[in-house]
Amino acid sequence: MTTTTKNILWIGAATGLSLGLLCFSGIFITHLFGEMPLGRFQLAFTLPFFFGCFAGGVYIFREYKNSGMASVREAFTVCLLATVAASLVFGLGVYIFFEQNKPVFEAHKAMLFEFYNRAAQELGKELGAAETQTLKDNLAQTTAASIAQHESFKFLGIGLMFTLIVGLAFKKRPVVTIVRKEE
């Protein structure tokens, strides 16, 4: 394994670990302020962390570990590894959080029911008794693991979008200096 490959793996894993922990801390902070952890403030905490961690990871790789150069493939690989690591850490954090806080988990399920009910009404469809009961049954089967899985895949999707953006934005090609010979 080459030095560049080792650097990509280490920086991608470290970036992903820090991103997952930062985003999970955002959820924990919203809970401390009395808001729903996976509610309306989730994206407000996660999006700046995504860009900051990805940009920092690719910048560190490019400037300090790879002599100021990074191909699109290398930048993309750092961000992709960071996305996978971060989604695993974040999903694990959400799972542990909901397993340890059953009242918050039940409140989250109630919020999901209200969300789906309100969405159906806004679409002009009033839920009948059978549909309401089906929705309640489905939400009753919701576990901390299923919410963690959902959040992890959502995190992965957002990360892939940022991977493309940051991977292309932070590529840098070597500067070619043209020396002209005086006649």
Domain extent listing, the chain: 3-168
Q: How many CB atoms lie within 10 A of CB 153?
A: 12
Which residue positions in the chain have pLDDT lower than 50? none
Give the tens place of pLDDT for each residue, 4-55: 778 788 888 888 888 888 888 888 788 787 777 776 667 777 778 777 777 7
* pLDDT confidence of residue 179: 67
Question: What separation, in Å, do the N-terminal and C-terminal C-alpha atoms of the chain show?
Answer: 48
Answering whether pTM is above 0.95, one says: no
* pLDDT confidence of residue 95: 92
* Residue 70, phi then psi, degrees to nearest 5: -150, 130
* pLDDT confidence of residue 1: 67
* pLDDT confidence of residue 41: 66
* pLDDT confidence of residue 38: 74
Over pLDDT 90: what percentage of the chain?
4
CA 5 to CA 173: how far, in whole Å? 18
* pLDDT confidence of residue 88: 92
* Residue 172, phi then psi, degrees to nearest 5: -145, 130
* pLDDT confidence of residue 92: 92
